[in-house]
Copies of this chain bind each other. A is one copy, B any other.
């Protein structure tokens, strides 16, 4: 998804969450920092950490800011935080600009003291819930769903014995996708929506428990992966260990993990609900090989997201796998984009073809998606200029056709080349010799028995979604 221009369809956003609780009282701030580092790919707009000391006052110290984890935190800020229970968040921006007040975690004071909250996902009834709250006099200072959830927790807390009970009751009211971490002054609570749309897992290192969006973050801090939080499960971590409540669980058949986590979003070294992301991408490549075989000399992937599927394609076909590109690892977010008028192009600055590898070869080029098509066209042009005789493009996801209401950032229709063109038209536009998209009914190859959501390709949403009659959404 090399040329994604970040545009969202709603209030939602992709994000990463990471919680840590050291029962013996040692500082977890730096573990949270490194955990967020490992989740940085899930959100680059803003980040934050909030921590408390469970042996001290019932309050949280928080640092939040716009930018990468490395931009917001330095040694001084991190050491000032200090606490043995806390959570962090990386946020993926939406249209409408960067808003500091929307950075998470959200720290609130309420009847029972303080509470910090961070979530990944998008509520489908957030607007409704906000309006309900406003009708009772509530005020909102952000536009993030966490504030709505926090309000409900605070209200439920008036009539409940424990924080986890209040969280449990609160999440019953919300609909949509969420992986939620809440830290009360003495507990760390994790919840995953009943469909399991967003991932969340548990780790442990000596006396420290972790909750993380992806298992790679647990590895990064030297922890052991314990297990996934199950769809619909609420786990409470306290000095009594882990307790679990599965009241919200639904029939596993109806579970609907976001398939895009496997295709593109998650890190290749993560494992979600028992399925290795690496493995699922190898299988995607193999599936493409089966659906769209071709005579060729070399299989190459577009760095970094197409590499593993390319490996799979190579393994299935026996066509050698090659490294056709050098990716400039210094091109970051603040990179000055070339103007249309300049001879340099963003693609060339990011990627360069290694001529020797592709010269006189028939190439299979694997990528995870095509958005506008301009990047693909540029890459193919570069390959051909370097002497590639043929370029056969294989895409490890079906074309996006429907909006995502659950927080995955799918470009809007106008930007999607697939929305207004046939596959053959696209093939011609990007200059490929052949083009094959993952077939929708083959997606299940990637994740085995796991229930997953493919609504962005099919329009089959796992739950009711807001907005107009979806079936006609793109028909005009």
Please list the residues of chain A having a beta carbon within 8 angstroms of any beta carbon in chain B.
30-31, 33-34, 37-38, 40-41, 68-70, 73-75, 78, 100, 106-111, 134-141, 143, 147, 150-151, 154-155, 157-158, 205-206, 216, 219-222, 267-269, 271, 276, 278-279, 304, 307-308, 311, 321-323, 325-326, 328-332, 334-336, 338, 342-345, 348-349, 352-357
Flag if B140 contacts A70 (CB, 8 Å). Answer: no
> Known contacts being A75-B336, A268-B326, A343-B205, is A108 close to B276, with CB within 8 Å?
no
> Known contacts being A70-B332, A336-B74, A356-B278, is A139 close to B158, with CB within 8 Å?
no
Flag if A141 contacts B349 (CB, 8 Å). Answer: no
Flag if A155 contacts B140 (CB, 8 Å). Answer: no
Residues of B within 8 A of A222 (CB): 343-345, 348
Total identical chains: 4
Nearest chain B CB to A117 CB, angstrom units:
10
Flag if B110 contacts A41 (CB, 8 Å). Answer: no
Flag if A139 contacts B108 (CB, 8 Å). Answer: yes
Flag if A139 contacts B135 (CB, 8 Å). Answer: no
- Give the top 7 A-B pairs by smallest Cβ distance, nearest first: A137-B155, A269-B326, A111-B134, A40-B330, A108-B139, A222-B343, A109-B140
Complex Cα spacing A336 to B222, Å: 16
> Known contacts being A139-B150, A338-B30, A343-B222, is A354 close to B268, with CB within 8 Å?
yes
> Known contacts being A141-B106, A349-B220, is A354 close to B269, with CB within 8 Å?
yes
Complex Cα spacing A267 to B335, Å: 20
Residues of B within 8 A of A205 (CB): 343
A-B pairs with beta carbons under 8 Å apart, 15 shown: A38-B328, A107-B141, A109-B139, A110-B139, A111-B137, A135-B158, A137-B151, A139-B147, A139-B150, A216-B326, A220-B352, A268-B354, A276-B354, A278-B357, A304-B329
Flag if B37 contacts A110 (CB, 8 Å). Answer: no
Contact of A34 among B34, B147, B338 (CB under 8 A): B338
Flag if A111 contacts B135 (CB, 8 Å). Answer: yes
Residues of B within 8 A of A70 (CB): 330, 332, 334-336
> Known contacts being A78-B336, A344-B31, is A68 close to B330, with CB within 8 Å?
yes
- A70-B334, A221-B343 known, 15 other contacts, Cβ within 8 Å: A37-B335, A38-B352, A68-B330, A106-B141, A108-B140, A109-B134, A111-B135, A139-B154, A216-B326, A220-B348, A267-B352, A269-B355, A271-B355, A276-B356, A307-B323
